[in-house]
Amino acid sequence: MARFLELTEFERPLDAGYRPLPYRFMPLAAERYVLTNMAGEYAVMERETLEEFARGRLVPRTQVYDELKAKHFLIDADSDVALDLLALKVRTKLNPLANFTGLHIFVVTLRCEHSCPYCQVSRANDDRREFDMTRETALKSLDLVFGSPSPAIKIEFQGGESLLNIDLIEFIVDEAKRRNETERRDLAFVYATNLAVLDDRALELAARHDILVSTSLDGPADLHNRNRPRPGGDSHARAVAGIRRARMALGRDRVGALMTTTAVSLNRVRDIIDEYIAQDFDRVFLRPLSPYGFALKTKFYQSYDQKRWLDFYFEGLDYILELNLGGFTFVEHYAATILKKMLTPFQPGYVDLMSPAGIGIGAVVYNYDGDVYASDEARMLAEMGDTTFRLGNVHTSSYEDIFLGEALLEPLERSFAASVPMCSWCAFEPWCGSDPVFHHATQGDFVGKKPLSAYCGRNMAIFKGLIERMSDRPQVREIFERWANIG
């Protein structure tokens, strides 16, 4: 008696047919198209092949047929588990939504000794203590923090310059850890600081409580000092010295840096990347300016257009790829975030690329005066008099008032990209997000007109750029796969 069935039992007639599963497509360059499905899997093919697939004429057991079958673009007679696997992938992508708010930003003071012209928030002189958060406000804010069902909670201290109110930071950390003895959450803390006033006390506190440090580094000394002026003109020297001191006290991996692109940065992307390498960082986040707060008042946001920033971005990305191809490992953070969505079944948790939007459910802000905002950008918008995304106040509003109120639920309801005009048929929808704060600020509408949206135009160009680079060069695909799997 044979132990196995004959091979003919597993063969399927070529005319058995197949059924396409939901997919979208978008043209790339040179008659090529990208196809994506609900789980974010993608395939690149020529127009003729796409037409054959759409008309049900693909020949089974060919390379393109097997790729589309493996990635759940089609189902045939012997792939009856495909729907279950596709559903599992979609559920894995959406699973983080159940955790709700994980990042809680405390604006402990508006005081700051820098006077950055692109700053997105109003600031106060460093002797104006009426702009400090009080202990009472901090305690009320912590009530809301631990009201979140998220198993992981990160509390980030912002300003102004957060370290100018180190007394309150220490109070909040001690109180949060005391509460966490019974809450048992995965609790983490972050200083968002320019490092200019970093002292031994702040370092000792960070070492004792394992507090991360996030700072700003806009590039070489001349560029950083121009973008981030302070009395004495030594902001770069203080930042670099602070980075070194923090690393010595906390460890190299406990200190991160962010840059912001101004008009004077546009021709210097290689200098910026070289500065990050010189300061021993292993990545850079090439960020554009945002249309909020003081950056609008000083006209810094209008200082360059989307095309100029994209030229800056891709010059930087290609330079970083050159470094990697030469054997030096370095990462562009925004690309790595997108690639995690493109190449893995996991979500990176980056608020600006969430659908529904990450406002409120990904991050929330407790202002120094107790006002609660749906995001850091929402607070910046309020600084210019627009309180659309103000969710309540810790002294007068309950957790339910804030997180179940219309101020949050209405923009969230309208932020499901899969049901938004143009987004719903865009091939990049599985990787993109929805940013109602951005569109409200620039177009006066939570959804916005997508052909006029800088958010959409910027992300679509980057998605295409990443796909084209992977498709043209297998070595780049290998680099991007490593980036996608970085924690």
Do 430 and 337 share a structural domain? Answer: no
Residue 6 domain flag: no
Do 334 and 201 share a structural domain? Answer: yes
Residue 29 is predicted with a pLDDT of: 87
Of 385, 406, 427, which residue constitutes the final position of a domain?
406
Please provide the average confidence, as pLDDT, over all residues in the chain.
91
Range of the domain at 436: 413-474
Percent of the chain with pLDDT over 70: 91
Do 297 and 182 share a structural domain? Answer: yes
Position of tokens 């200083």?
191
User: Distance between CA 336 and CA 320 in Å, rounded?
Assistant: 12
Both tokens of residue 217?
């580094």
Both tokens of residue 434?
């929805």
Do 319 and 179 share a structural domain? Answer: yes
Residue 434 domain flag: yes
Of 387, 406, 425, which residue constitutes the final position of a domain?
406
User: Domain with 110 in it: what CATH number?
Assistant: 3.20.20.70
Nearest to 166 by CA among 193, 128, 139, 137: 193
Both tokens of residue 72?
């759940």
User: Distance between CA 434 and CA 377 in Å, rounded?
Assistant: 14
User: Distance between CA 130 and CA 175 in Å, rounded?
Assistant: 22
Do 467 and 439 share a structural domain? Answer: yes
Residue 395 domain flag: yes
Of 62, 94, 126, which residue constitutes the final position of a domain?
94
User: pLDDT digits over 425-437, tens only?
Assistant: 999 999 999 899 9
List, in sequence order, every residue forming a beta bridge with 76; answer none if it has no partner.
Answer: 18
Q: How far is CA 290 from CA 38, 302, 332, 423, 463, in A?
A: 30, 10, 19, 22, 20
Do 351 and 264 share a structural domain? Answer: yes
User: pLDDT digits over 232-278, tens only?
Assistant: 999 999 999 999 999 999 999 999 999 999 889 999 999 999 999 99
Do 434 and 354 share a structural domain? Answer: no
Residue 383 is predicted with a pLDDT of: 84
Residue 382 domain flag: yes
Our count of domains for the chain comes to: 3
Residue 368 is predicted with a pLDDT of: 97
Residue 16 has pLDDT above 80, yes or no: no
Do 184 and 61 share a structural domain? Answer: no
Residue 356: cis peptide before it, omega within 30 degrees of 0: yes
Residue 86 is predicted with a pLDDT of: 83
Q: What is the band of 14 on the pLDDT scale with cuts at 50, 70, 90? A: very low
Residue 11 domain flag: no
Do 469 and 336 share a structural domain? Answer: no
Range with top average pLDDT, 120-129, 170-179, 408-417, 420-429: 170-179
Do 256 and 236 share a structural domain? Answer: yes
Residue 481 domain flag: no
Do 187 and 248 share a structural domain? Answer: yes
Residue 222 domain flag: yes
Residue 373 domain flag: yes
Do 59 and 85 share a structural domain? Answer: yes
